[in-house]
Amino acid sequence: MGTQVKQNSTADYLRMYRQMVRIRSFEDNANQLYLSAKMPGLTHMYSGEEAVAVGICEALTPQDKITSTHRGHGHCVAKGADFKQMFCELLGKEEGYCRGKGGSMHIADQSNGNLGANAIVGGSMGIATGSALSSKMRGSDEVTVCFFGDGATAQGLMYEVMNMAALWRLPVIYACENNGYSEYTPTDEIAAGSITARAEAFGIESFQVDGQDVLAVNDLAVRLVEKCRNGEGPFFVELMTYRYHGHHVGDINREYYRAKSEEEEWKSNKDPIIRFRSWLVDQGIATEEEIDQINYEVKQDAKAAVDYALSAPYPAAEEVDMHVFTDIKHAVA
């Protein structure tokens, strides 16, 4: 890669838009599957945070790595995952990315460099930093992005790995998706002081950016990824964003911790997809009709994928004790 920062083309912008719409559409469908009791377990909606995942992942190649969180569908789609296999995974079907054995909270897409969502808050920070260490040791220019929420800044592991990343100049970008809430508690009640200052204490250059502005996010991401490839990492980015749904799909009556008016404000005036759509039209990059067309296609795509997944088969019973070890086919005698 040269020293020039990548310039986005029309195709790039349209893809960015499409990716955000795909995420929104995926989440809407997943929510429906839950509400209509067709999806086992729980899941966590990313709706509202699309610009964060897309803005960053558009700056990465399939060889670059990401680690994700329990709110991981957005990262998964943004890193290049396919609807069918994602819906299959959420429904526990054999054709899912993890053969139905991981589910929403552990969805991983190894071929696209997604090392996996993690049900443990902050649980993937070590993995992301290790991935960066690995990249450096192998002499490759792969960058790793570690996604985590503001709630994860309460985990000790974050400080341990940031310390080591800084000591050894590892190519990792710590992306803190600050959506204002740590489960059911506002962030300012669980995180003392400044979030970026935490990283700065280790000498890690830190940035804060409007997470609802996909271009701002992408711009910053492209620059930081380039620097990482040149051995100037690690970096820390705090992205200010908002989740429209509750902490998980079952968290429906949430006015006790979050005002409806606040939710409305973010949805109406700060929605990343609407904002970007306006920008695209204003800049003459796309017409309203073209955008409508994209929306329509994505919607059809999603519906087809959901239908497919609903009728896809579950893994066979004999699979229950497979894949415990790489070299023992069935772990239970």
Whose CA is closest to 205, among 249, 237, 231, 246?
237
Task: Please report whether residue 204 would count as binding other proteins according to CB under 8 A.
Answer: no
* Cβ at position 239, least distance to other proteins in Å: 22
- SS3 of 202, please? coil
Residue 220 CA to residue 153 CA, distance in Å, equals: 21
Is-contact 235 206, C-beta < 8 A? Answer: yes
Q: With CB under 8 A as the contact rule, which of the stretches 51-59, 129-137, 179-187, 216-224 interacts with other proteins?
A: 129-137
118 sits near other proteins (criterion: CB under 8 A): yes
**Residue 325 binds other proteins, judged by CB under 8 A:** yes
The gap from C-alpha 19 to its chain's centroid, in whole angstroms, comes to: 12
For other proteins, which residue of 48, 72, 74, 123 counts as binding (CB under 8 A)? Answer: 123
Residue 98 sits in the site that holds other proteins (CB under 8 A): yes
CB 117 → other proteins: shortest distance, Å?
9
19, 43, 68, 129: residue in contact with other proteins (rule CB under 8 A) = 129
Does 208 interact with other proteins (rule: CB under 8 A)?
no
Query: Binding mask 250-279 vs other proteins (x if CB under 8 A, - otherwise)?
Result: ------------------------------
Triad 10, 285, 280: Cα angle to 5°: 110
**Site pattern 147..186 for other proteins (x: CB under 8 A):** ---------xx--xx-xx--x-------------------
| Maximum separation of any 2 CA atoms in the chain, in Å | 65
The reply to whether 120 sits near other proteins by the rule CB under 8 A is: yes
State which amino acid sits at residue 297: E
> CA geometry: angle at 140 spanning 155 and 64, to 5°?
55
Q: What is the DSSP string of 9-52?
A: -HHHHHHHHHHHHHHHHHHHHHHHHHHTT-S-S-----TT-HHH
- Residues forming contacts to other proteins in the complex (CB under 8 A) are 65, 67, 96-102, 106, 108, 110, 115-116, 118, 120, 123-135, 137-138, 142, 144, 156-157, 160-161, 163-164, 167, 322-328, 331
